[in-house]
Amino acid sequence: AQTVTQSQPEMSVQEAETVTLSCTYDTSESDYYLFWYKQPPSRQMILVIRQEAYKQQNATENRFSVNFQKAAKSFSLKISDSQLGDAAMYFCAYRNPNFGNEKLTFGTGTRLTIIP
Amino acid sequence: DTGVSQDPRHKITKRGQNVTFRCDPISEHNRLYWYRQTLGQGPEFLTYFQNEAQLEKSRLLSDRFSAERPKGSFSTLEIQRTEQGDSAMYLCASLSGFSTDTQYFGPGTRLTVL
């Protein structure tokens, strides 16, 4: 069974600085998808960024980028120029490639605090 | 496209009562997922539907839980004889028919069992 581990329960960063959230996973599959979701307090979960395992290039979305190390099964999220609105729980998630059941396996999350 | 909606947003009930939650997916999304999220944890998969067919259920889904998706549109999740351990956030997500697509989540229903 696939597992996702987020070893940092809490992180904090000064506004405008850069922070990196860690995620490792375990799978025997060679092809899969990885995601970072953001869950603000009392608000719904939204997708931050996704990575297809067959792509060597790291995904980027504006201030968000990932460092995908397939051999090490590591998938970290870097947030540049942190803003107050980035404060949230961040969940790393794994999805196998099988068509028809795209259920997600989540880590336990990292609570990110932005210090003004 | 108004996104995934869930009703109610909050539910407080007494132990032993039955509760039912509703999820309305993004229109034309044929896959619908239910997850449960307890405090301090990430969401855990409960069950999923492709159109009206329930295709997989997690071991977390005891026989007190039942889910339906009549006509492949909205879905309901019912918990019978609630227990305090059922207190959690229940999340719904939907996905289009394309496997490469992304799951879109609703705001969740927070259940508190007293």
The pLDDT value recorded for residue B98 is: 66
Whether B34 contacts chain A with CB within 8 A: no
For the stretch A25-44, pLDDT in tens is 999 888 899 999 999 987 88
Strand-pair partners of B21: B77
Mean pLDDT of A6-29: 96
Of B40, B45, B106, the CB nearest to A104: B45
The pLDDT value recorded for residue B28 is: 82
Q: Coil, strand or helix: which one is A27?
A: coil
Say if residues B64 and B36 touch (Cβ distance below 8 Å). no
C-alpha to C-alpha distance for A99 and A32, rounded to whole angstroms: 11
Q: Coil, strand or helix: which one is A19?
A: strand
C-alpha to C-alpha distance for A37 and A32, rounded to whole angstroms: 16
Mutation target for B interface from A36, A44, A46: give the one with most B CBs within 10 A. A44
The pLDDT value recorded for residue A29 is: 87
Measured at the alpha carbon of residue A48, what is the angle toward residues A42 and A50, in degrees to the nearest 5? 140
For the stretch A55-76, pLDDT in tens is 889 999 999 999 999 999 999 9
Asked if pLDDT for residue B100 goes beyond 70, the answer is no
The pLDDT value recorded for residue B67 is: 96
Distance from CA of B19 to the nearest CA of A (A): 21
Q: Residue B113's pLDDT band (boundaries 50, 70, 90)? A: very high
Say if residues A90 and A36 touch (Cβ distance below 8 Å). yes
Mean pLDDT of A1-30: 94
C-alpha to C-alpha distance for A110 and A104, rounded to whole angstroms: 17
> If you write DSSP's letter for every residue of B34-82 in order, what string do you get?
EEEE-TTS--EEEEEEETTEEEEE-TTS-TTEEEE-GGGS-EEEEESS-
Q: Coil, strand or helix: which one is A86?
A: helix
Residue B34 in tokens:
């239910």
Q: Coil, strand or helix: which one is A40?
A: coil
For the stretch B22-55, pLDDT in tens is 999 998 888 999 999 998 899 999 999 999 999 8
The pLDDT value recorded for residue B38 is: 93
The pLDDT value recorded for residue B72 is: 84
Distance from CA of A79 to the nearest CA of B (A): 20
> If you write DSSP's letter for every residue of A59-88 in order, what string do you get?
PEETTEEEEEETTTTEEEEEE-S--GGG-E
Report chain A's mean pLDDT, rounded to a whole number.
93
Mean pLDDT of A81-103: 89
Asked if pLDDT for residue A50 goes beyond 90, the answer is yes
